Amino acid sequence: MKASKTVYKPVGLVLGALSGAVAGALFKQAWKTLGHDRDAPDATDEDRGWSEVLVAAVLQGALFAGVKAAVDRGGAAAIRRLTGTWPG
């Protein structure tokens, strides 16, 4: 196993937790910015419509994926700078 991959494992775990928190905060802000007074609906919220549930899910998924990719890429680039090799 490459040293860079070994070094990246714990870094990746920490970055994953941080990216989830950042993405969650971004989603809450985006949902409010879109003019919604209440929290985003869960798929099983009976009093919320299909379109609202699906829009919330797509927005949340896109934000989580985008933040995770940016954080993972930044972490891998930092490991390359430290070790000289790309983790993976």
What token pair was written down for 11? 């870094």
Do 76 and 9 form a contact (C-beta atoms < 8 A)? no
| pLDDT at residue 1, as a whole number | 56
- The predicted model scores a pTM of 0.79
Do 88 and 68 form a contact (C-beta atoms < 8 A)? no
Do 15 and 71 form a contact (C-beta atoms < 8 A)? yes
**How many Å from the N-terminal Cα to the C-terminal Cα in the chain?**
9
pLDDT digits (tens, 9 = 90+) for 3-57: 677 877 888 888 889 899 999 999 999 999 988 888 899 999 999 999 999 999 9
Inform me whether the pLDDT recorded for 87 exceeds 90. Answer: no
| pLDDT at residue 79, as a whole number | 86
